[in-house]
Structure 1
Amino acid sequence: MINYQQKKYWKLILLNFAILISIGSLVYTRYLVEDLKKDQYKTVSLLADAYTELISSFTDPESVHDISFLFRIIMSNENIPVILADTNDNILEFRNLDSSIVLKDSTYLKRQLASMKKQYPPIPITFSNHQVQLIYYKNSKLITQLTIYPYVQLFLVILFVLVSYFAFNSSRKYEQNKVWSGMSRETAHQLGTPVSSLIALKENIKLSGGVISAELLDEFEKDTKRLELITDRFSKIGSIPKPEIRNIYELITESVNYLKPRLSKRVKIVFEPEINKEITAPVIPSLFDWVIENLCKNAINAIEGNGEIKINITENQKNVFIDISDTGKGIPKSKFRTIFKAGYTTSQRGWGLGLSLSKRIIEMFHKGKIFVKDSVLGKGTTFRIVLRKKPFRPLK
C-alpha cells in the first residue's frame, strides 16, 4: 500500500529530478554561450583585420587587390554590436545599434561604449602611421538571451514545482475532508439498516407483551451479526487482513438473503446458485460482502426503486467472474472509469464512495479487478468482478 511517507519520497525524487534537469540545462547553456563568445571574438577580430586592411588600401593601393571582399567581411556582421573609437573615446563609427535612438539621444552611444568596456577589452587597430583605433563590442542579442534563458527556466521550474506542491496539498486536503465526510456518512448508512431493524424489533416486542417469536429472534440475530460485520469491515480497511478460501456462492447467498427482506417489493434480485456446486476463491469475507452490497445498492439507485438485479457467477481455470446486472438507466461509455473515482456521484444524497471503496477492496485487498463490463443507456448496466483462484500474499 502506498502511504503518505512513500508519496513524500516520490515528491522529493521528482523535485530533485526537476532541479537536476534545470542545473543540467544551465550548465549546457553556459557551455554554448562560452562557445558563442569565442566565435564572437573571432568575428570581431576578423572585422578589425578587415578594417585595418581596408584603411591600408587607401594609403597603399598596391597592398590590397580586392577591396570589395573587405567590404563584404565588414558588412557581414549583422548581429554583434560594435563601436569604432579612437584612444580618446571619440566615436568614429558604429554598427548593429539602434540608429533611431542615436538620433533622439545624444548620450546613447556613450552609454553603449561604457557598457562595452565593462564586457570585453577592445581590439586595437594599428595603422602604418602608428595611429591606433579601438573596436569595442558586446554580446549579440542571441548570446544575451541564451545567458538569461537558463535562469528564467530555473525560475519557471521552481515556480511550477511550488505551485504544483501547494495545489497538490490543497487538493489532497480537500479530498481527505471529502473522504472523511463520506466515510462518516457511509458509517451512518451502514449502521442505519440494522439499527432501524432493531428499533422495529423492539417495538414489536413491546406490542407482543415481551414475547419474542422465532421469526423475530431470527431477524434479531441477523441484525446483530450485521453490526458485527460492519465493525469488522471498518477495522479491516486500516489493517492487513488475511484472505480465506471461501465458497463464493455461499457468500453472495448470505448477502442477497440479508438484502432481499429490506428492499422494496418492486425491486427483484435474481440469484440462482447451482445446488451443491462450489466455486472457491481467496477472499476477505467482510470486505467482499461490502463490495456486493455496494454494487447491489448502486443497481437499486440505477433502477430507481423499480426493476431487476441479476447476479451470475462463472469461472475458468484461473479466475472467478461475478456479473451484477441491472435494468436501470445505464452509464455513458465515457464514464466507465470516472464512476470509480472518489467523490463522483450522480445522486444528490450520495458521496461517491461506494464504487471507489469497492475498487480499492477488490484491487488492493483481493488483487482482482472490477469494471463496467457493459452498459446501454436506458436498458441497464453490468458490473464484473474478477477474483483470482490462486492464493496470494496479504496486502502490506
Structure 2
Amino acid sequence: MKLFENNRNLFKYLFIATAIIIVLASLVISHHLVKSLSKEERNKIEIWAEATKEMATDTVNLNMNLLLQILKSNTTIPVILFDKKTDYYSSNNIELPESNEQEFLKKRAEDFKKKHKPIIIEIEDFDQYVYYDDSYTLKQLQLYPYIQLGVLFIFMITAFFALFTTMKMEQDRLWVGLSKETAHQLGTPISSLLAWIEYLKLKETDPATLLDMEKDVNRLQMITDRFSKIGSTPTLEKKNVAETLQQAIIYLEKRISKKVIFKLQTPDNPLYADISEPLLSWVLENLTKNAVDAMGGVGNITYTISDKGNFLSIDIQDTGKGIPKSKFKTIFNPGYTTKSRGWGLGLSLSKRIIESYHKGKIFVKSSEIGVGTTFCIELKKSN
C-alpha cells in the first residue's frame, strides 16, 4: 500500500513537472515570435520613414511609383507623423474622432513613444517624427502566451482532477473487492463454528462457555456483515446515537486493557440520527483501537456527544502521543499507517462510511504532541 502511495505521488510530480516544462517552452517560443515580429515591424516603419523622407527631397530620377507603393503598403501598423515645423499631426491606420483630432493624435503619439522609440526624419528645412504602435496581429500574439497559460492551466486542473478521480475509483474498487472477499472467506469458518456450538450443546457442555462462544461467533457474523456492506448502499435507520456508542464501549471494555479508562458524556435529551448501526459501530471501534494504540494501552478515552443544531457531533478524545498537524488529512489516505503491522485501511474506510454512506464528516478536531488527539464525527440529526 505504501508502494502504491509513493508511485502515485511520483506520477503526480512527473505530471506537474511535464506541464511546467510545456508551459515554459511555450512561453519561450511565443516570446521569440513576438520579438521577431516586433523587429520586422520596426524595419517596415524605418523603410516607410525613409520613403517619406525621399518624397520630401527634390532629388531627380526618383522612382515615384516605388515610393508610393511603399507608403501605401502599410495597412496594419498604426503610424503618426508629426511635422515639427508646422506642429501638425497626420496618421495612418488610426480611427480618428469627429472632433479634437490634433489633441487626440498628440496624446496617442505620447503613448506610442512610451512603447517604441520614434524615428526622426531630418533633411534641410524638414523635421518630422514618426511614431508607431504594434499592429493588431502583434498585439494578439502578445496576448497569446497569457491565453495559452490560461488554457494550459485549465487543462492541468482538468487532467489532474481526472487522474485523481481515476485513481480514487481504482482504490475504491480495491477496497470493495478486498472487503467482499474477506466477508466471503469468513462465511465458511463461521458456519462451521455455529455447527460445532450446536454439537457441543448436545454433549451437555458448560452453558456459560457456550454462551461466550455464541457471543464471539455472533460478533464474527456482525464483522462479516460489515465487510459485505462495503461498496453497497446500506440501509439507514433512526437510532439513538448515545445507545449505539454505549453498546460499542461495553463491547470494547471487555477486550481492551484494564488500564484504559472509558468516559461517556451525553446530553440530557437523546439525539437521533439515521445510521447504519453496524457500520457506525465499526468506525467507533476503529477510532477507539487507534486511540488505545496511541496511548500504549494506558490512558483515558472520553466520548462526548453534543447537539450542534441541525447536526450532532461525537468527539473521541484520547491521552495518546498526538498527531502532527501536517498529517491531519494524510492519515485518512488509503495505505497510511504508523504501525509495523496493518494495511492502513481503518481510517480510510471510516471516512468512506461516514462521508459516503452517512453524508457526514470525520476529521481531526485537535491534537497536541505528547498530550492527545480528538477525532470528531458529525452526523445530520433525524427529525
Q: Deviations over 1:300-357 (max 9, x none)?
A: 2211223232222232543322111111101122322332233332223233322222
* Kept after mapping to 2: 8 A contact 1:370/1:384: yes
CA distance in 1, matches of 2:43, 2:319: 77
CA distance in 2, matches of 1:69, 1:350: 94
Residue aligning to 1:222? 215
Match of 1:67 among 109, 123, 127: 123
In the superposition, the TM-score normalised over structure 1's length comes to 0.54
Residue aligning to 1:184? 178
Paired residues, what number? Answer: 287
CA distance in 2, matches of 1:259, 1:292: 10
CA distance in 1, matches of 2:284, 2:125: 89
Give the share of equivalent positions with the same residue, in percent: 34
* Kept after mapping to 2: 8 A contact 1:178/1:343: no
Residue aligning to 1:114? none
Shift of 1:155: 11
Amino acid aligned to 2:178:
S
Residue aligning to 1:338? 330
CA distance in 1, matches of 2:214, 2:269: 27
Question: Does structure 1 residue 279 correspond to structure 2 residue 271?
Answer: yes
Q: Deviations over 1:167-217 (max 9, x none)?
A: 96499559836972797389769999xx79x98x979x98x9954333333
Q: Deviations over 1:30-61 (max 9, x none)?
A: 9xx999999986764343122332463999xx
CA distance in 2, matches of 1:266, 1:330: 19
Residue aligning to 1:93? none
Range moving further from structure 2, 237-246 or 311-320: 311-320
Q: Deviations over 1:137-161 (max 9, x none)?
A: xx9xx95x97599599869967995
* Kept after mapping to 1: 8 A contact 2:179/2:228: no
SS at match of 2:254: helix
CA distance in 2, matches of 1:381, 1:221: 35
CA distance in 1, matches of 2:168, 2:279: 26
CA distance in 2, matches of 1:189, 1:298: 23
SS at match of 1:262: coil
SS at match of 2:337: coil
Match of 1:256 among 249, 257, 260: 249
Change over 3 Å in CA distance of 1:54–1:346 after alignment to 2: farther
Change over 3 Å in CA distance of 1:214–1:260 after alignment to 2: farther
CA distance in 1, matches of 2:357, 2:301: 26
CA distance in 1, matches of 2:218, 2:185: 12
Residue aligning to 2:374? 382
* Kept after mapping to 1: 8 A contact 2:272/2:382: no
Q: Deviations over 1:248-277 (max 9, x none)?
A: 122112222222222233334334768x96
Q: How does 1:156-195 map to 2 (within 5 A)?
A: 161=155, 165=159, 169=163, 172-173=166-167, 176=170, 180=174, 184=178
Change over 3 Å in CA distance of 1:348–1:188 after alignment to 2: farther
Match of 1:320 among 312, 315, 322: 312
Residue aligning to 2:349? 357
Change over 3 Å in CA distance of 1:150–1:236 after alignment to 2: same
* Kept after mapping to 1: 8 A contact 2:179/2:230: no
Q: Deviations over 1:344-393 (max 9, x none)?
A: 322232333222222222223222222222222111111121222135xx
Change over 3 Å in CA distance of 1:308–1:152 after alignment to 2: closer
SS at match of 2:59: helix
Residue aligning to 2:66? none
SS at match of 1:308: strand
Q: Cα RMSD over matched residues?
A: 5.3
SS at match of 1:382: strand
* Kept after mapping to 2: 8 A contact 1:54/1:70: no
CA distance in 2, matches of 1:347, 1:69: 92
CA distance in 2, matches of 1:270, 1:348: 29
Question: Does structure 1 residue 309 correspond to structure 2 residue 295?
Answer: no
In the alignment, structure 2 segments of 5+ residues that lack a partner are 1-32, 63-84, 86-121
CA distance in 2, matches of 1:148, 1:367: 49
Match of 2:232 among 239, 252, 265: 239
SS at match of 1:56: coil
In the superposition, the TM-score normalised over structure 2's length comes to 0.56
Residue aligning to 1:47? 50
Change over 3 Å in CA distance of 1:156–1:368 after alignment to 2: closer
Shift of 1:237: 2.9
Change over 3 Å in CA distance of 1:188–1:238 after alignment to 2: closer
Shift of 1:229: 2.4
Match of 2:282 among 282, 290, 294: 290
* Kept after mapping to 1: 8 A contact 2:354/2:361: yes
* Kept after mapping to 2: 8 A contact 1:247/1:279: yes
